[in-house]
Amino acid sequence: MDSKTLCLGALMLGDASGYEIKKLFEEGPFSYFHQSSFGSIYPALGKLMAEGLVTCDEHAQEGRPDKKVYSLTDKGRAAFRKALSINPQRDRIRSESMYMLFFAHLLDTGHVRKVYDGYLEGFRQNIECLDGLSSDGISPSRQFVRGFGRTFYEAAVKYMEENRHMLLPEDEAPKAKGDKT
């Protein structure tokens, strides 16, 4: 799914600037299952403009740089639907943490611990973020996707809490004792 389609989808949620679109992929609803960077967003928006799929209003702001707010045209909305009517490609995942954990037996224990705990904490934070979101007025689709993400994070936390001993066997005994006192 190319960046043009990703931007079209972002604008389906409402008019937005390039920066705001980036935020949707970085911290917003898309961040859990897709990504896109400035280097691809701005050229994509330019192309969408050239193709008549979006329009752009430049707004001056106080205390901030000017802002270009992009809107979908009818043509853009139609193009978006069309782009989403294809067969989806397979999910693509790149996890450096998981790659490192795969080779944990070759790595320094302290480093494995750091990677492990950082990864686990990341999942916990994702759950917190999701739980802090309002579900007022969002579509069932969006609720579905959010719930899917939450399910995954919870399963990850649970698995990692229960199976830490597989990678960090020496952490288990002293920690369990500490908790009991």
Partner DNA sequence: AGCCTATATATAGGGTTGATATATATCATT
Partner DNA sequence: AATGATATATATCAACCCTATATATAGGCT
Judged by beta carbon distances under 5 to 8 A according to partner kind, the member of a second copy, DNA, none in contact with residue 180 is none
Judged by beta carbon distances under 5 to 8 A according to partner kind, the member of DNA, a second copy, none in contact with residue 40 is DNA
Q: How far apart are CA 111 and CA 96, in angstroms?
A: 13
Judged by beta carbon distances under 5 to 8 A according to partner kind, the member of a second copy, DNA, none in contact with residue 33 is a second copy
Q: How far is the CB of 34 from DNA (least distance, A)?
A: 8
Kindly tell me which of 23 and 150 has the beta carbon lying closer to DNA.
23
Using CB under 7 A, list all residues that contact DNA. Answer: 2-3, 17-20, 22-23, 35-40, 42-46, 61-69, 89, 92
Q: Which helix (H) or strand (E) holds 129?
A: helix 109-131
Instruction: Give the closest residue to 9 by CA, choosing from 142, 132, 105, 101.
Output: 142
The answer to whether 72 and 66 are in contact (CB under 8 A) is no
Which letter, b or e, does each residue of 14-26 get, where b requires 16 or more Cβ atoms within 10 Å of its Cβ?
eebbbebbbebbe
Q: How far is the CB of 147 from a second copy (least distance, A)?
A: 6
Kindly tell me which of 46 and 122 has the beta carbon lying closer to DNA.
46
